[in-house]
Amino acid sequence: MERKKIDILCVQETRWKGSKARELGEGYKLYYVGECGRRNGVGIVLSPEMKAGTLQVSRESDRVIWMKLVVEGTVVNVISAYAPQVGCHDQEKDDFWEKMESIMATITETEGVWIGADLNGHVGEGNNGIEEVMGKYGVGVRNEEGERIVNFAIANQLAVVNTCFKKRMTELKTYSSGTVHSQVDYILCRRKERQRVKDCKVLPMEAVAKQHKLVICKAELKTKARSKPVRTQKTRWWKLNDAEYQERFVKKVEEELEQHGERTWNVVSTAMQAAAKEALGETSGKGERRRRHGGGMRRYRRQWRIRKRRKKSVISAGAKRTSKTTSRQTKRQSER
């Protein structure tokens, strides 16, 4: 994790018995749950930065562990899950997906959701009709377990992240056993957080387990504060060119001076400014912001002048050449 700069790692099939937390060294901490040392078991490993923001750890079963963290001032829910295999009973599959639905029901819409799971299903290639849920870069053909994954994502407004990026086939396949290659490990997040994801792919050379490959997702969880544009309003002095506005302005100035009584320069200037705001009005300030950030029209005019000068120079040079050739021809003809 330190070498790959991974902050949150979801692991499945740990096969560790108990519901404990363990320090792994270098500040990394593992939270895990398991009922039997031979099968199942899930866990979440946090970096030192993420460990400091831990709010809650819920060990739902030996297939689901759920954590609530504070990341850059926002609450983020991380779920590590391990779905039943194809050969398991339907009741066990139903219990797993009901547990996932109950967890999603307890999470408010303002909180982030990130799921790293071995879901043992194939969502398949293509995304006709479900573009908001997944990308078109899946692997294989969708099966019954894959339909469960897609329905779960649709019901909870999630997106299957590792199907949204065009990659080589070796960077899409998460499971390899002999000649069998498939995609069963997925990372899911809320649709509105999809824009935070910069990349998601499989690291084929990282041997985490014998058959499963490491799926890594790069996401920007930091919220960038947007600076509000400063608008400077200006008095519309150009309206004084109109006689009607001139009369309004003079009347307002006289009214302001009658109220103050004195005729010093400070009194007169403040009276004129106040009268101008009422009689002439002020701008919204948007034009000033455009000039400050772009000045596109002035730049365009400058470029247009430069191009016009170049054309003139080319034309004049061509005219000189033609005049020289014509003069030479006339001399030759006269000599003959």
Q: What is the CATH number of the domain that holds 154?
A: 3.60.10.10
| CB-based burial, 26-41: b 16+ in 10 Å, e otherwise | eebbbbbbbeeeeebb
90 within some domain: yes
Does 21 share its domain with 52? yes
How much is the pTM? 0.66
300 within some domain: no
330 within some domain: no
Does 179 share its domain with 36? yes
79 within some domain: yes
Q: Supply the pLDDT for residue 73.
A: 85
Does 198 share its domain with 289? no
What integer best gives the mean pLDDT of the chain?
Answer: 84
Domain termination residue (choose one: 257, 276, 293): 293
Q: Supply the pLDDT for residue 293.
A: 47
Does 121 share its domain with 71? yes
15-52 pLDDT per residue, tens: 888 888 989 888 999 999 998 878 889 999 999 999 99
Residues recorded for the chain: 336
Q: Supply the pLDDT for residue 252.
A: 85
Domain hosting 141: range is 8-219
Alpha carbon distances (Å) from 62 to 14, 32, 34, 99: 10, 9, 5, 12
Does 260 share its domain with 177? no
Q: Phi/psi of residue 193, each to 5°? A: -95, 5
Average pLDDT for 242-258: 85
Q: Which residues contact 166 (CB under 8 A, 6 or more apart)?
A: 137
Whether residue 291 is predicted with pLDDT greater than 60 in this model: the reply is no
1 within some domain: no
265 within some domain: yes
Does 205 share its domain with 234? no
- The number of distinct structural domains making up the chain is 2
pLDDT band at 326 (very low <50, low <70, confident <90, very high): low
pLDDT band at 278 (very low <50, low <70, confident <90, very high): confident
**Contact assessment for residue 38 and residue 62, using Cβ atoms and an 8 Å cutoff:** no
Domain termination residue (choose one: 168, 200, 219): 219
Q: Which two tokens stand for residue 247?
A: 């009369």
pLDDT band at 289 (very low <50, low <70, confident <90, very high): very low
Q: Supply the pLDDT for residue 312.
A: 61
Does 107 share its domain with 175? yes
64-117 pLDDT per residue, tens: 999 999 988 889 999 999 999 988 999 999 999 999 999 999 999 999 999 999
28 within some domain: yes
